[in-house]
Chain A
Amino acid sequence: MAVLVIADHDGAHLRDTTLKTIAAAQTLSSDIDVLVYGETSAVAAQAAAAEGVRTVLTAESAELKADIAEAISALIVSVAGGYDVIAVPATASGKNFAPRVAAALDVSIISDVVEVVDGSTFVHPIYAGNALETVKTSDAKTVLTVRPTAFKPVAATGGSAAVEAVAVPAVALKTRFVSDEKVVSDRPELGSAKVIVSGGRALGSADEFKGVLEPLADKLGAAVGASRAAVDAGYAPNDYQVGQTGKVVAPNLYIAIGISGAIQHLAGMKDSKVIVAINKDPEAPIFQIADYGLVEDYKTAIPALTKALG
């Protein structure tokens, strides 16, 4: 059995979502190739150094760099013949193209795999993580998205895979790239951060969100997350959203500040190692899953916490 893992990267760095997807693939096979598309020069070498990779395939074009699903899926389909399983990190980008690949191959997709039972049997969450479904596929090929938080990354170094460029198939695109509006930040990314400080509706404004959470996040070297309510209200950018329909995270420490703990929010953070809740309402549902709860107004609690951290 051979597995093709699709790399997640930013053009300069291979994200650890890729290393975690390779780890999931290793539970299936030792014949693992990694496809790096877009801006590949720096990333291909990093993928080749990852533990347990057989070959790194690279493909470059403007459309691939712009992350256009039609171009990516055509590329993956063009190399799919050599693989039994195609494993894609379950990021917004991966979820955009993986189902297209599956449909083009006339196979089903299994989304957000958290456990590999065997070569055809996988576990994935449904209903915002309130149930775990084990499914067995009868398709000849399997297309999966892998939830990175459920797997430990393989080592980033030590491997020495060969790197091969593959031909980029010509596609008559009916999609054109217009613009990107990326949030630039020096903080760790939410998906890979060890500590996350997350704010909710209670923060009340974008200025307050920044002014209160950033000093604390700076002290902890933390990423900043948000509830949907905080994002909808414009306190935080969309890619901060943690939850059923946002990012799924599992840091060592998750600090929820002024977040009530709706089931859709819990779906994105309940696998964190240690959860802290700071909320002025002692009845807030978030306390039912928090390891440490502090019932206090964030206005006094957060400055005190920032100070106590020294």
Chain B
Amino acid sequence: MKILVPVKRVLDYNVKVRVKTDQSGVDLANVKMAMNPFDEIAVEEAVRLKEKGVVTEIVAVSIGVAQCEAILRTALAMGADRGILVQTEDDLEPLAVAKVLKAVAGDETPDLVLMGKQAIDGDNNATGQMLSALLDWPQATFASKVEIEGGEARVTREVDGGLQTLGVTLPAVITTDLRLNEPRYASLPNIMKAKKKPLDTKALADYGVDTAARLSVVKVTEPPKRSAGIKVASADELVANLKSAGVL
């Protein structure tokens, strides 16, 4: 069985976000970039399925600038077998990413696409669901547990009010939630090995899909700031303050 894992290069989650003064976007010049945390979880899950003998090949794919290669190398160091970089300078919307991933899935014919539920830059939480719709494959989003058995993935999902378990017939799209696993750190020998693993670079145009932007960004602004209030010395003083603030 073969798994396709889309991985996105995003601003590292520890980096402080700065909005550009001209309101054109977020400042990404000279800041640390990393693999989207949910995609690390997806790679980890794929590698665990391979270690269990359920999966034979893991293909990581990233759509974006040339520097996405570093993200793919991280996936390879974690245990993916091959990488595909679909190179473009454009910042694609989820619908366009889903269309490119559909084309990649057409070439690769994976049994499963395992991806993050959300990229922590745009916070869209959309691409997996869109890909599933375009491929007409079943979807199981927000996974906290995945078991593969007899052509079906049994997925426990984090939903409003608790958990839901679904069985999806393969091929399917699964998106990861935080508690699916804790991703490993790549070891130095594996980082070295990853440098020799195959990585194909394609141009966006190779796929011939319509990735034209549907949304134009009017502006990006900073949200209103909240400032620190006062320190109280005791629970009694806290209650007195909350009463006078009218929230008790």
- Taking Cβ atoms with an 8 Å cutoff, the residues of A that contact B are 10, 66-70, 73, 91-93, 95-104, 106-112, 117, 121, 125-139, 173-183, 195, 220, 228, 231-232, 237-239, 244-245, 252-253, 264, 270, 273-276, 287-296, 301, 304-305, 307-309
Contact = CB atoms under 8 A, between A and B. Distances in A.
Contact of B132 (A100, A125, A270): A100
A107 B99 CA distance: 12
Interface string B219-248: 111110011111111111011011001011
A244 B13 CA distance: 11
A103 B141 CA distance: 16
Given A238-B177, A239-B162, 14 more contacts: A67-B164, A99-B125, A100-B139, A111-B126, A127-B123, A135-B215, A174-B138, A183-B161, A232-B179, A238-B163, A244-B123, A253-B247, A275-B226, A292-B232
A117 B221 CA distance: 14
Given A127-B123, A232-B179, A292-B242, A179 B164 contact: yes
Residue from the set A91, A174, A294 with the largest chain B CB neighbour count within 10 Å: A174
A136 B179 contact: no
Q: Is the interface of B mostly helix, strand, loop or mixed?
A: mixed
Given A67-B159, A178-B154, A244-B123, A97 B129 contact: yes
Contact of A273 (B219, B232, B247): B247
A175 B178 contact: no
B150 interface: no
B76 interface: no
A133 B24 CA distance: 9
Given A100-B129, A109-B126, A276-B238, A175 B162 contact: no
B216 A287 contact: no
B120 interface: yes
A136 B218 contact: yes
6 contacts: A98-B126, A106-B95, A126-B121, A134-B221, A232-B179, A304-B234
Contacts of B19: 130-131
B178 A232 contact: yes
A115 B145 CA distance: 35
A173 B137 CA distance: 9
Contacts of A232: 178-179
Nearest to A107: B214
A100 B133 contact: yes
B118 to A, nearest CB: 6
A304 B238 CA distance: 10
Interface of B: 11, 13, 17, 19, 26, 93-95, 98, 117-118, 120-134, 137-142, 144, 154, 158-169, 172, 177-179, 214-223, 226-236, 238-239, 241-242, 245, 247-248
A103 B134 contact: yes
A135 to B, nearest CB: 4
Q: List the 8 shortest-distance A-B pairs measured between CB atoms, nearest first.
A: A291-B229, A304-B235, A99-B126, A103-B130, A99-B129, A130-B17, A103-B133, A108-B214
A270 B158 contact: no
A289 B228 contact: yes
Given A103-B134, A108-B93, A288-B228, A125 B235 contact: no
Contacts of A180: 162-165
A133 B217 contact: yes
A99 B160 contact: no
Nearest to A228: B178
Nearest to B124: A111
A131 B223 contact: yes
Contacts of B164: 66-67, 177, 179-181
B123 A126 contact: yes
A293 B158 contact: no
A298 B11 CA distance: 35
Contact of A239 (B161, B169, B220, B223): B161
A107 B215 CA distance: 10
Given A109-B126, A131-B221, A253 B26 contact: no
A276 B241 CA distance: 11
A121 B133 contact: no
A109 B124 contact: yes
A257 B220 CA distance: 33
A98 B52 CA distance: 34
Given A99-B94, A127-B120, A289-B228, A276 B242 contact: yes
B87 to A, nearest CB: 22
A174 B129 contact: no
Given A68-B166, A178-B154, A131 B129 contact: no
